[in-house]
Structure formats: C-alpha cells, structure tokens
Structure 1
Amino acid sequence: MTKLSLVGDIGGTNSRFGLVAEGAMAVTRIEKLKNDDYASLEDVAAAYLRSQSISDLEAAAIDVAGPVTGEEFPLTNRDWIVSRTKLKAALHCQRLVILNDFEALALSLPHLGRDDLVQIGGTEPAKPSVKLVLGPGTGLGMAALAPLPRGGWLALPGELGHVNLPVVTREEFDLREAMTAPGTVFESEFAVTGGGLHLIYITLARLAGRAPLLTTPEAILQAALAGTDADAVKTLDHFIIWLGRLAGDAAMMMQAHGGVYLAGGIAPSIVSELRKGPFRRVFEEKGRLDLNSVPLYVIVDDYPAFKGCAAALQHI
C-alpha cells in the first residue's frame, strides 16, 4: 500500500492540512483547523492525522508564516515555537521539510494552471525567467523563484513587508506621516495588509474630521467595492497604488521577467479593481527601465501553497 505524505499550510489563525501520494501533486482530504483550539503545531497536526485515521507518514512538508531558522523558531503571528524534532516525532514521518509560507507559494508557481490565475497585462517570456510571488494578508510576504541552469527552480524567501512604504505624491506623504507613530519607521506592511486597510481608513476619516463608520478590513473592502463609503473607496485607491508600486519595485530589483504573482486573501477579492484601475500603470512606472512586458497574475487557486509543499516533497 502506498504511503501518504502530509502537506500543511500554517497561518496565524488557521492551519490547513492535506495528503498526497508519493510522487503526486494532487492534494486530497483537505481540512482547516482553528489554531485557538490547540496548544502547539504538533497538537494541531496530530489532531488532523487522527481525524483521517493516519498513524504513519512517508514524509511531511509544512509551510509556516514567518522566517524558518534553526532547530527551533517562533511563528510570527502565533505564540507557538516550532521544533523540527518534536514535529517529526508527532507526525511519525521519515522525512520532514519546513518552508516559509511564501517559499512554498514560490515553488507552486510552475504548477499553477490557467484556471488558477487571472492575468493583468504583460506577456509570458519565451524561456524560464525569474518569477516573484507577493501578497498582502495579515502581513506582506514575498519570495522569488529562479530557474536553475540544468532545469528546475530555486525558491528564495524575502521580506518585502519591512521595506519603507513607497510614497510619491504630497497627499501620500501627508497620509503616511499621519499614520506613523512617533519614533517608528513606517513599513510597507503597516499599510498594504488587512490591518493596513483599517489604518488607512481611520486616518483618512480623522484627517477629514469624521468618525470612522467601519471597524474591520472586511467591511472596508465591501464598502469600497460597493461604493457606499467615500473613505473606504479612497482607502482602496491608496492600497492598490501602493501595492502596484511595491510589486513594480520588486520586479525591477529582481528583473522578474517571468512574472509577478499576487497571492493571499485580499488580491482575489479585488481582481475587478486591479484590472480596471491604475494598478498596471503604477506597476510599470519605473522611469528608464521597461516593465511593460512583465506579466502580472492574481492567484485564485484556493490552496496554492499545497502545490508548493507537494513539489518540495519530491526533493527531500
């Protein structure tokens, strides 16, 4: 009987798991568990395996939201300490690989099909070229995927969310100043994330002398898309422009002619605005360097990181 391998996508709020057969990319028996119900990554992974009546694994590939360093390391948005030794013991697996969440997303890119993507301009390159994946959610993550000389790909995790927010106009400078706490450097993920949507919104309302009516990023997005709240509409405008500018900066620095892919929960929900608004124009506005041909994609697959984890399993 073919042994199964585990794939896991561990966020701050939820953990998602699935199973793959040896050498396969298809992920089955997907389940989402709330992290608040468990004391550790070992506990939530073991709970999933019990629910699937799995007691023995061939291998496991787990991606986590945060830097993956050393034998033990903390998650960025969860008070869990990840231990390679404890996790491998809890999973009863022969082989284990732990990935950064955007590293897993980068590894998924060659395995995404047409139905998994919405393209926003640009053209596909004639030969394998550097690709980037980035995306706003709880944080603002990024990773590059570089083609290897003898075939295959190398994923390179990055930290786009911690660069300075790229402001250009006088209005943007004033807004960033109003959002900045004294003595701090304003990082991009303070604005281009779910929490950033809320911060932009309440700051715009305060500057206009109004009390903010909406209290969550989800409500702000819904009102912006429906056009029912002027501050929400302006919030989304700033968000899209900054996202486009950051994506263009990253593409320019890495010469990502293979494309820039937007991941996470926010980008798919605003595809219509990204396609019709200034997003593509702002992405391309880089002075002497030409980004006109670089394709932009929004990933609409529900579980792209699982594809990256499945790909990683084939190399451990």
Structure 2
Amino acid sequence: MQNRILVGDIGGTNIRFAVAHRHASGLPSLSHIWRAPANDFEKFSDALACFLENTTGHDHPTQAVFALAGPMDKDSVSLTNKDWTVRRSDLISRFGFDRLVFMNDFAAMARSIPELSDDAFHNIQLGHPGESLSPLKTISVAGAGTGLGQALLVGDAVKGWSVLPTEGGHQPFAPLDDYERQIQAYLNAKYGYVSFELICSGRGLEVVYDAISAVNGITPADLRANDVTQRAKSGDMTAQDTCEFAANALMNFIGNTVLASGSWQGAVLAGGVSQHLLPYLSKPSAIERFTGKGKMESRMARVPLRLLIDSTAPLIGAASSS
C-alpha cells in the first residue's frame, strides 16, 4: 500500500470515507473521516464527489479500497439493502483512480479485528480457549446492522490474515423453545422464509416487535428500529421482549457459526444493532443461546466472545487489506 489511500465503508444506511496512512509499525491510521446518510444521495458517486470536494479537494489519493454491503461481481456491486449499483469502471473514469479495489463491507469489518486495540471491544464472555494445535487461528465474526453479516477470519503465521466472507445471515432461523416457535410461526405466515437476518437486523427489530405484539394480543405501534431500542430503555415491556428475543437469536447465530467453523480461539459480534443490544447480550438467556450446544456446551463456554464497538473498524479493515 502507498502512504495514502482512500478508504470507504458503504452500507445500506450510512456511508463513511477516510484517508488511510501507513506508518512504520504497519498499522494504518485515519484522517479526513467523513460520514453521511446514504439516503442523502441519489447514487454512490455523488456521495464520493461530496466527500472529495469537502475534504481532500483535488489532492485526493489515486488508490482506493471501498468496502460495500453487497455480493462482489467482477466490475460492480449491487448493494443488498440499497438500490445502488456501483461500477469500478465508472468510478475510475470519473475520479481518475490508478487502482480501485472493491471488497465486501463485512469482510473489511472482520479484517480490522487483528489491527485494533483491546479498547475497541467489549467482552461478553472472557473464555479460556487454551493453546491450539492447529497452525491456523480462526475467529468467527457476525454483525447485525442494516443486514446480518458473517465472515471467518483466518490467521496464518506465514501468510498473515485473510477473510472468508459468507452470506450466512440468510440461513433459516432455528427456534429453541415454545415462545420462539410462536414468533417464528407468525413470521413464517407473513414472510414465508424466516432467516436470522430477518430477526437480528435493524429491520428485524421492527418485524419482531410486530410479531411479539400479535402473539400477545397487543395492537402493535408502527415503530422503527431506533424507536424500539429507545422504548426498551424507557421500560416498554414489548420493546424489551423484542430486544431480548433479537439478542438471543443473534447469540444463537454466532454460536452456530463457531460450531460450523471450529473457531474455538474466539468470536466477535459487530454492527450497530449489536451495539444497541449490548444490555441483552450478556443476560443468562443470551449466554445460554451461545453456549448451549449439546455435547459442545463445555467447549463453547471456553470460547472468548467480544463485541466490536469501534465505528471506524471497516475503514481500518479496508486499509489493511490493500
């Protein structure tokens, strides 16, 4: 990577840009950090132009790495939760980049984890995994935001860190008790396919609030995700039940991810919704969803689980991947 590189984190809700600098230590630092709602712009290139005009001017880096919330194609990315298609060729032509790399936004989030200090995380379960006999270190990463991302971070003593992004958030939700089965049945009747993303994402707080209201015979209010978390803080029982249900599902999901990948060295939750659910993620019912995996329960209790709370993480990850 050259000394200066433009990095971006483009999600369905917010856009972040920054200029990354590589230092002698090898760790990137950020300057010119800029954030705006995605809905403020008709297309992605307008947001990029606004950032460049208001921060770096004409002296912007000629190399860039953009982390986008959507599956990667050869030249373009169609965002999963935003009606934008972003094309490399168009951006190179308009902004004169010598080198432009696209990567999945959640892969960038995951790649940041080895670069961040301990104060970028909140410990949910300390764990004690012990020494691994494998030459590889694997960390499961899952994040609830506009959608539900999942990736596997793999560390090799020789090759360094790499990320395997997935679309695991679209796996079917698996209820674990009668109450969860009632909620799942309501959602199944309304939406057909009930994925973990439908329940654990920002939109999930809205649909789960509606489902819990219906199951309990309450007329639901028309709430957005932020309304749900705010009402929960104010003591609204239905909102609190919604947050607890979503947190339990998220902990079930990340626990399944650890099992499927053998990430006994650790797991990390990320994303804005995960942070809003923090008061519920450490409750006994949520911890039990993470560890309660049958014959693997005692091993799951030894897996360190942390919550990533640094909002610049995807920018750091993009810079570290270049």
* Range with greater deviation from structure 2 (61-70 or 141-150): 141-150
What are the ranges of 5 or more consecutive residues in structure 1 without an aligned counterpart?
none
Letter paired with 1:207: V
Which one of 60, 74, 85 corresponds to residue 81 of structure 1?
85
Residue 8 of structure 2 corresponds to which residue in structure 1? 8
Structure-2-length-normalised TM-score: 0.90
Structure-1-length-normalised TM-score: 0.92
Residue 321 of structure 2 corresponds to which residue in structure 1? 312
Residue 269 of structure 2 corresponds to which residue in structure 1? 262
Does residue 250 of structure 2 align to residue 243 of structure 1?
Answer: yes
Q: Distance in 2 between matches of 1:48 and 1:209?
A: 48
Letter paired with 2:29: A
Does residue 291 of structure 2 align to residue 288 of structure 1?
Answer: no
Residues 174 and 34 (structure 1), Cα distance of their counterparts in 2 relative to 1, 3 Å cut:
closer
Residue 177 of structure 1 corresponds to which residue in structure 2? 185
Residue 140 of structure 1 corresponds to which residue in structure 2? 148
Letter paired with 1:46: A
Letter paired with 2:11: G
The residue correspondences of 1:164-243 to structure 2 (distance < 5 A) are 164-181=172-189, 184-213=192-221, 215-226=223-234, 228-243=235-250
Q: Is the Cα–Cα contact under 8 Å of residues 55 and 92 in structure 1 kept in the other structure?
A: no
Q: Distance in 1 between matches of 2:224 and 2:42?
A: 27
* Per-residue deviation, 1:69: 1.4
Residue 300 of structure 1 corresponds to which residue in structure 2? 309
Q: Distance in 1 between matches of 2:77 and 2:189?
A: 29
Residue 18 of structure 1 corresponds to which residue in structure 2? 18
Q: Distance in 2 between matches of 1:310 and 1:73?
A: 19
Q: Is the Cα–Cα contact under 8 Å of residues 56 and 93 in structure 1 kept in the other structure?
A: no
Residue 102 of structure 1 corresponds to which residue in structure 2? 106
Residues 261 and 54 (structure 1), Cα distance of their counterparts in 2 relative to 1, 3 Å cut:
farther
Q: Is the Cα–Cα contact under 8 Å of residues 214 and 220 in structure 1 kept in the other structure?
A: no
Q: Distance in 1 between matches of 2:253 and 2:292?
A: 11
Letter paired with 1:185: Y
Q: Deviations over 1:134-169 (max 9, x none)?
A: 111111111111123524011000112210101121
* Per-residue deviation, 1:236: 1.7
Partner of 1:93, secondary structure, is coil
Q: Distance in 2 between matches of 1:157 and 1:90?
A: 29
Residue 123 of structure 1 corresponds to which residue in structure 2? 128
Q: Distance in 1 between matches of 2:3 and 2:256?
A: 44
* Per-residue deviation, 1:101: 0.7
What are the ranges of 5 or more consecutive residues in structure 2 without an aligned counterpart?
none
Q: Is the Cα–Cα contact under 8 Å of residues 109 and 313 in structure 2 kept in the other structure?
A: yes
Q: Distance in 2 between matches of 1:262 and 1:183?
A: 26
Residues 145 and 239 (structure 1), Cα distance of their counterparts in 2 relative to 1, 3 Å cut:
same
Partner of 1:200, secondary structure, is helix
Q: Distance in 1 between matches of 2:129 and 2:32?
A: 34
Q: Distance in 1 between matches of 2:309 and 2:114?
A: 15
Residues 232 and 35 (structure 1), Cα distance of their counterparts in 2 relative to 1, 3 Å cut:
closer
Does residue 72 of structure 2 align to residue 68 of structure 1?
Answer: yes
The residue correspondences of 1:266-281 to structure 2 (distance < 5 A) are 266-281=273-288
Percent of pairs with identical residues: 29
Q: Is the Cα–Cα contact under 8 Å of residues 56 and 92 in structure 1 kept in the other structure?
A: no
Does residue 42 of structure 2 align to residue 39 of structure 1?
Answer: yes
